[in-house]
Amino acid sequence: MKTSESKYCSCLYFTANALARKVEKLAIESWRKIDLAPSHAYLLNLVLEEPGIQPGMIAEQLQLTPSTITRLIEKLEEKKLVIRCAEGKLTNVYPTPKAKEMKPLLKQCIADFYEKYSKILGKEESKQFIQNMNTIADKLEV
């Protein structure tokens, strides 16, 4: 059944979650080749772009709670992709050499994901839709 045919199609909560599940499925397909979940991949990408980034900044950028970021970092540590270093009162997250080797493939996964949804929605419609979602998300900030 299409989301638009559901009994709850006029509900923001239902529709947003149905969309999120469909987008998650596309994203998982895109990152399968590097054996990372999308949330892990985006976190790793941040660490590669800003070595020494602090978990609080990661939480802000990914719009996730600090406890979720801690769990994601722990999983990437298990995979030997990041290390945490305490520097005074601060904790900084750095990519490992293994993570640095993955950077081109990680970038390719991001590009593949963009291509997948752009092919379905259209490039201009995708861009406009994302802008609209950002505007709405900002308005709903509690």
Tens of pLDDT, residues 9-48: 999 999 999 999 999 999 999 999 899 999 999 999 999 9
pLDDT at 128 exceeding the cut of 80? yes
Q: What average pLDDT does range 120-129 have in this prediction?
A: 95
Domain that holds residue 41: 35-126
Q: Are 58 and 69 in contact (CB under 8 A)?
A: yes
Would you say residue 82 lies in a domain?
A: yes
Q: 């991949």: which residue's tokens?
A: 41
The model's confidence at residue 141, banded by pLDDT at 50, 70 and 90, is confident
The percent of residues in the chain predicted with pLDDT above 90, rounded, is 94
Q: How many domains does the chain have?
A: 1
Would you say residue 24 lies in a domain?
A: no
Would you say residue 27 lies in a domain?
A: no
Would you say residue 75 lies in a domain?
A: yes
Helices and strands counted in the chain (H then E)? 6, 2
Phi-psi region of 80 (alpha: psi -120 to 50; beta: other; left: phi over 0): left
Q: What average pLDDT does range 79-87 have in this prediction?
A: 95
Using CA atoms, how far apart are residues 59 and 68, in angstroms rounded to an integer? 8
Would you say residue 19 lies in a domain?
A: no
Amino acid 108: pLDDT: 95
pTM score: 0.88
| 56-62-65 Cα angle (round to 5) | 55
DSSP 25-82: HHHHHHHGGGT--HHHHHHHHHHHHSTTB-HHHHHHHHT--HHHHHHHHHHHHHTTSE
Would you say residue 15 lies in a domain?
A: no
The model's confidence at residue 71, banded by pLDDT at 50, 70 and 90, is very high
Using CA atoms, how far apart are residues 30 and 24, in angstroms rounded to an integer? 10
Amino acid 87: pLDDT: 86
Q: What is the CATH number of the domain that holds 107?
A: 1.10.10.10
Nearest partner of 46 among 80, 20, 69, judged by Cα: 69
pLDDT at 142 exceeding the cut of 90? no
